[in-house]
Structure formats: C-alpha cells, structure tokens
Amino acid sequence: MMRLSPSENRKLQQSNKMDFFFGGTEMNVAASLSYFGIKTQQVSNVSNDLVGEAAIAAMRQFGIDVSAVNKVDHPLGLYFLEVGSSMRSGKIAYNRLHGAFANMKPEQVDWESVLENCDYLHWTGISPAISEGAYLTLKEGLEQANKKGIIITADPAYRSNLWKYGKDGHEILKELTCLSTIFIGGVNEINEILHTDFSFEEEGFIAAAKKLVEECPNIEKVFDKVRTGVSASWQKIYGRAWTGKEYITTEELEITTVVD
C-alpha cells in the first residue's frame, strides 16, 4: 500500500502537502529481514501504472525479490495517516477494499515456483480480511507450504472493520492458523480466534498458548509482543513466549522518543 502523511506531525486539516511511503504488514517484515541479510520475496499485486512501478522500486530498494508481484488493472491501495504526537494519538483512514491486492486471485500466484527453496512463509490476518480472493490465494499457499514442510509464521491480527465479504473472520483465521507452525500474537488474538476469555497475566498467556496448541496441533511456539502506550511518543514494550515446553520473557524496553 501507499501511505500518505502530512509532514511535521501535522493534522490533515493543517497541511496542503503530504509525504508518501510504501509499506504493508508482510512487506515490512520482508524489508526488516532483508536488512539482516536474509533473502526475501514478496507475493502481492500492485497497480499497472506509475504508482505500481514506484511501489515495486521501493521493494527492490529494500532488497526484496519482486518476481511474484503482479501488475493488475486496479489502483494501489492507500491510507492516510496523521502521525500522533505526545498526548494526541495517531489517526488512520484506509482506501484499499477495492484495490490491486483486494483483487488478487489464486490463479495469479504460481506457488510451486514461489515456494521453491523457501524456508519460511509469513502471513498476517490483514491479507485474508481484504477479500475472498486474497483469502483463497493465501490458503492455497499455506496448504502447499505444509506439504513441503515449510515453517509458516502467522500474525493473525483480527480487524473487524475489514471483513466485508460475508465470511466469518474468526473462523477463517483459526483455519489458517491451524495450517501454520509459529503463532505471533498474544492473549487478545487467541481469545478472538478461539472465542475464549483468558486473562492477560502470565498464567493466562500460558493457558491461552496451550489451548491454541491443543486446538491447532501444527502450532509449535507462540510469541507475543506486549506494548503499553503511555502517550503517542512514549511506549513500553517487552516480549514473551511459550516454546511448547517453557515460558520465557524479555526485559521491558522503554522508548520515550517515538519517531513514527
């Protein structure tokens, strides 16, 4: 997607010009891994115009393989972001439900080629929420990855405002999670998928992780990021995990000068 933001932490009403960036949940992961020297590939659609070309160029600059990115005759999805500052939270407006990625179809992706020499396949809950075509495309990829023994990492964030095509998001996310190997999410995500009410504390997280593994035996590990927002510019964050055998956690980091 393309992100449009007023500069200098302004609100849209206070500016007549905007900066633009390209990103997205899975692409951000690919870009980060590329910086660590890991070979990555993006599976997606972009618009068949100068905006799509710019998006492809941005991915190439991050070192991402774009050979599985299709150009289609639909506009690139975009969103507007007012970056928060201090006590004022950020605000987002999306325009992507009829964009290039929303019009993805299973026949557009040659998963056999994409998964050749692949070690990990990563997906997030945003992708199957956008459209039925995106959901079916992802499901096919996960099924083929399972047959090949590829490790599948799932970040199944549930966004209720995205599921507009008549499917139950909770059921689909559980289905796709059960096709995955590593779960990236916490108690909130597990409660959403399993319709449970585990508590947020350590004991609740461990119980939730064990319940998820019971319901989805393919899942081997559960990793959670716990973030506390004191303000838009001040965040506290730590990680915790259930390895299948033990609970581990990190020290909490305090970030007092959030830039973006």
When mean pLDDT is compared across 7-11, 47-51, 54-58, 192-196, the lowest value belongs to 7-11
Higher pLDDT, 46 or 92: 46
Q: Tell me whether strands 120-124 and 151-155 are parallel, antiparallel or unpaired.
A: parallel
What type of residue sits at position 176? L
CA atoms within 13 A on the CB side of 216: 24
pLDDT at 209: 98
pLDDT at 207: 98
When mean pLDDT is compared across 223-227, 247-251, 256-260, the lowest value belongs to 256-260
| Band of residue 56 on the pLDDT scale cut at 50, 70, 90 | very high
The string of DSSP codes covering 56-71 is: HHHHHHTTEEEEEEEE
pLDDT at 255: 94
In this predicted structure, the answer to whether residue 259 has a pLDDT above a threshold of 90 is no
Under 8 Å between Cβ of 134 and 101: yes
In this predicted structure, the answer to whether residue 260 has a pLDDT above a threshold of 80 is no
Q: Over the stretch 8-38, which tens digit does the pLDDT of each residue have?
A: 889 999 999 999 999 999 999 999 999 999 9
Distance between CA atoms of 78 and 1, rounded to whole angstroms? 5
The string of DSSP codes covering 23-43 is: --HHHHHHHHHHHTT--EEEE
Distance between CA atoms of 247 and 46, rounded to whole angstroms? 41
pLDDT at 29: 97
With a CB cutoff of 8 Å and minimum separation 6, the contacts of 74 are 45, 47, 98, 99, 100, 102, 103
SS3 203: helix
Q: How high is the mean pLDDT of the chain?
A: 95
Whole-number CA gyration radius for the chain: 19
Under 8 Å between Cβ of 191 and 208: yes
Q: Over the stretch 129-164, which tens digit does the pLDDT of each residue have?
A: 999 999 999 999 999 999 999 999 999 989 888 899
SS3 76: coil
| Band of residue 232 on the pLDDT scale cut at 50, 70, 90 | confident
Q: What is the mean pLDDT of residues 35-50?
A: 98
Helix (H) or strand (E) holding 175: helix 169-177
Predicted TM-score (pTM) of the model is: 0.92
Q: Over the stretch 77-119, which tens digit does the pLDDT of each residue have?
A: 999 999 988 888 889 999 988 999 999 999 999 999 999 999 9
User: Tokens representing 219?
Assistant: 């899942």
Under 8 Å between Cβ of 158 and 195: no
pLDDT at 91: 92
Q: What is the mean pLDDT of residues 52-58?
A: 98
pLDDT at 160: 86
pLDDT at 165: 92
pLDDT at 254: 96
